[in-house]
Structure 1
Amino acid sequence: MAPTDTPSLLSDTARVAAMKGNALAQLDFFRASLREDGGFDTLEVDGSPVPGQPQDLMTTARLIHSYAIAHIAGAPDCLRIVDAGMAALATDWPAGHRDAEHGGYLPIPRDGAPAPSTDKQAYGHVFVLLAAASAKSVGHPDADRLLAEAAAVIEARFWDEETGRLQDEFRRDWQVFSDYRGMNANMHGVEAFLAAYEATGDAVWLTRAGRILDFFTGRVAPEHDWRLPEHYRTDWSVDAGYEGNPMFRPAGTTPGHSLELGRLLLQYWDLTGRADAALPERARKLIETAAEGAWREAGGFAYTLDFDGTPLVTDRYWWPVTEGIGAFAALAKQGGQASDLDWYARLWQVSDALFIDAARGGWFPEVDEAGQPVARMFTGKPDIYHALQACLFPLAPGLSGYYRDLKGVLA
């Protein structure tokens, strides 16, 4: 759609220059992920490999996506990472991710460490679709094959046409073992589906993204004061007492996901011709409720809140701040309010003060009460994906069309 850029978003030339420099520094840092054997390592804070860490499916897919959009933006030496990631997804497990026996994809064990779980989750598989869409946008020769393969797995195993949402998890052989349903995988499903639509023009992806968004932002959010529950049962009733993996399935609500989903709602609104005038206000309620409720006086966001807005996990992580940057940039682009630019500037100030590793590149993933980097939840610097998008997406003129509009923004 035609961009409606707010000039004020890019009027701070020093900030724009800092964003471009930070994006390039991140890309330099994470190039060290590439192993001599063509796989990827997780990196310590100093850029050295984390020994024995599996090559997660999410990590491979996010690296493909990140370096593909960076290539579009004009960054040098990006396609080696894209090529290595695509090869890992095409290679049969355990040397690569592809499960030739049962279909779908698995994490790759590394360096003699115990094999990681072989359960298959929608979360990782939708990132494969995102990677394939981004690889297609840079003309990778295997992108169409991966798109077709990932789409077939999602269609056959994870997509529930009756509800219009994704089922979460299965055993390696696709046996059902869980009645869990979650917002997180569905939110990233929206992200991947919108990317697949932009890369292919296939309207099925746009339709499916809209069905997911309608449920979470049109039905659930208004019923819960715009604080989105994360966890659900098979019948999609809210499971308020659920608590699982402390990173991916913590108890309560996760404000960072509302920030992310609000931005995706605006992307969907743009791609659908801006036909539904209610969607921007819906996105604003999600974004503002999350930001105002989770903000910490010392800067940054509490990771989780209870359903009444009481902070549960007050630790501050980098990724909700990066998603806040993208969310308020999107609000500003579509007309916005002065407060959107205020939030945008505030979040960059917090990033500079707490999270950006100016000396080595990349962002520290978490800080303690004194604002010092710690390693309570994360090992090293987990990935480039969130922080790179925070630098690049505000530089694109529109709310959608990133594969087109990011062209040359780092030049």
Structure 2
Amino acid sequence: MTLSPLDTGWLREETSRLLDFGRAFPHPRGGAAWLRTDGTPDLDAPRHTWITARMAHVYSVATLLDVPGAGPLADAALAGLTGVLHDRRHGGWHSSVTSDDVPAGDKTGYDHAFVVLAAASGTLARRPGAEALLTEALDTLVGRFWEPGPAMFADRWDSGWQRLDDYRGLNANMHAVEAMLAAFDATGRPDCLERALAITERTAGLGRQHGWRLPEHFDARWTPRLDHHRDRPDDPFQPYGATVGHALEWSRLILPLEATLGTAAPDWLLPAAEALFARAVADGWAVDGAPGFVYTTDWDGTPVVRQRMHWVAAEAIAAAAALHTRTGDATYAQWYDTWSTYVRAHVLDLRNGSWWHELDPGNRPADATWSGKPDLYHAVQATLIPRAPLTPGLAAACAIGAVR
């Protein structure tokens, strides 16, 4: 990505602004507190493994960028993963714990993928205990969730690893690809790269079969369930229909996989990334008369949930930047400029900090799906990916000084 000095400067300033906003996340009982709109921690809300892991990842990367005070914050998040959120009896990680440290929820592939990502970034940042955490997290994710037949990760076990749910989901596998790439950077284990490619190959096949609108929900045999949650279309983790932001996120993730594979990369990777991007833009961007991406569409591209989620705009920026880095096509630079302008105009909260996590179809702050601003992961990465190479991943690139 060729950026003007002014734009590069804005990205750096926004990285710093976001990291400043999240500094109050450590919960006094361990893990990451849910942050309110103004950045204050809600100490009565549950502490989630996925939020804690994302904070560990973000502040480990910040440590590698020499951000003052980032190291202790990364360590606090990692301590939550080795402490209160870790299931010492059965192994693995609780989905969440209550304000009184009572475990809640099942064991999910989504959560465990983020623990791998956090541990890999912590390892590359040389944070205490991160390497041992990565070993355990990889062993658990692969040992409990990997299904060799379909070459995909299962989605959900009960807390004692006794019953595997029949539901299968693409979202957990998307984040597992990111986690496998980070783990490869941290360990050099070839099986991590092999799994990332296998998952991506199945996903690209699904895209071709469905006009590049990716099915998200499946049964135990990996048969798509296209009507899943039709009655709950705005579910925060399993919404009905095609999720526009996930097509953009897959587009962005395919490119570092291709770059890491090098000469061994199959030739379908780049066309798949471009097709997913094109479909997401055609279906999702400003299709209802206002700027912004709709959240989900039906299988013919008709918008279903028209709320604007901050993470979708973040992934759009990252995907456009990555595709421009890969291809040099000026169209991607133009999209990057369009969406950066949109974020600055509508998504940034310059009074309270961070990005509004949700806007209504008129681009006004809303909380129909998400309350507060608990998540720095998408926004911070959107400020870093345009400044980074396609490979290695963000933490490894920061470790070698390759992020501009």
Provide the secondary structure at the position in 1 that maps to 2:47.
Answer: coil
Between 264-273 and 143-152, report the one with greater CA deviation: 143-152
Q: Does 1:161 align with 2:136?
A: no
1:18-29 equivalences in 2 (<5 Å): 18-29=10-21
Partner of 2:175: 188
Partner of 1:3: none
Partner of 1:334: 326
Q: Pick 1 or 2: higher relative contact order, CA cutoff 8 A, min separation 6.
A: 1
Provide the secondary structure at the position in 2 that maps to 1:124.
Answer: helix
Deviations 1:303-355 (A, max 9, x none): 00111111110111100100011101010001232210111001101101111
Partner of 2:92: 104
1:177, CA displacement in angstroms? Answer: 5.2
1:60, CA displacement in angstroms? Answer: 0.7
Between 196-205 and 267-276, report the one with greater CA deviation: 267-276
The 8 Å contact of residues 304 and 311 in structure 1, kept in 2 or not, is answered as yes
Letter in 2 for 1:235: R
Gap regions ≥5 residues in structure 1: 1-5
Letter in 2 for 1:241: D
Provide the secondary structure at the position in 2 that maps to 1:312.
Answer: coil
Tell me how large the CA RMSD over aligned residues is: 1.8
Partner of 1:258: 247
Deviations 1:200-246 (A, max 9, x none): 111010000000000001x1110101110111111111111111670
Q: Does 1:394 align with 2:386?
A: yes
Partner of 1:358: 350
In 1, distance between residues paired with 2:392 and 2:309?
Answer: 26
Q: Does 1:235 align with 2:221?
A: yes
The 8 Å contact of residues 95 and 106 in structure 2, kept in 1 or not, is answered as no
The 8 Å contact of residues 398 and 405 in structure 1, kept in 2 or not, is answered as no
Partner of 2:129: 142
* CA distance 1:85–1:201, shift in 2 (3 Å): same
In 2, distance between residues paired with 1:235 and 1:133?
Answer: 31
1:222 to 208, 215, 219: 208
1:291, CA displacement in angstroms? Answer: 1.6
The 8 Å contact of residues 333 and 399 in structure 1, kept in 2 or not, is answered as no
Q: Does 1:267 align with 2:259?
A: no
2:33 to 41, 47, 68: 41
In 2, distance between residues paired with 1:45 and 1:200?
Answer: 37
The 8 Å contact of residues 397 and 403 in structure 2, kept in 1 or not, is answered as no
* CA distance 1:98–1:337, shift in 2 (3 Å): same
In 1, distance between residues paired with 2:290 and 2:392?
Answer: 33
Partner of 1:171: 158
What is the TM-score of this pair, normalised by structure 1? 0.92
The 8 Å contact of residues 185 and 396 in structure 2, kept in 1 or not, is answered as no
In 1, distance between residues paired with 2:391 and 2:356?
Answer: 28
In 2, distance between residues paired with 1:286 and 1:406?
Answer: 28
Letter in 1 for 2:81: L
Letter in 1 for 2:285: W
In 2, distance between residues paired with 1:51 and 1:198?
Answer: 35
1:283-302 equivalences in 2 (<5 Å): 283-296=273-286, 297-302=289-294
Provide the secondary structure at the position in 1 that maps to 2:181.
Answer: helix
Letter in 1 for 2:217: H
In 1, distance between residues paired with 2:355 and 2:245?
Answer: 17
The 8 Å contact of residues 363 and 387 in structure 1, kept in 2 or not, is answered as yes
The 8 Å contact of residues 95 and 107 in structure 2, kept in 1 or not, is answered as no
Q: Does 1:73 align with 2:68?
A: no
In 1, distance between residues paired with 2:303 and 2:197?
Answer: 30
Partner of 1:248: 237
Q: How many residues align?
A: 397
Letter in 2 for 1:249: Q
In 2, distance between residues paired with 1:236 and 1:398?
Answer: 30
1:112, CA displacement in angstroms? Answer: 4.6
In 1, distance between residues paired with 2:31 and 2:203?
Answer: 36
The 8 Å contact of residues 50 and 380 in structure 1, kept in 2 or not, is answered as no
* CA distance 1:224–1:39, shift in 2 (3 Å): closer
1:178, CA displacement in angstroms? Answer: 2.3
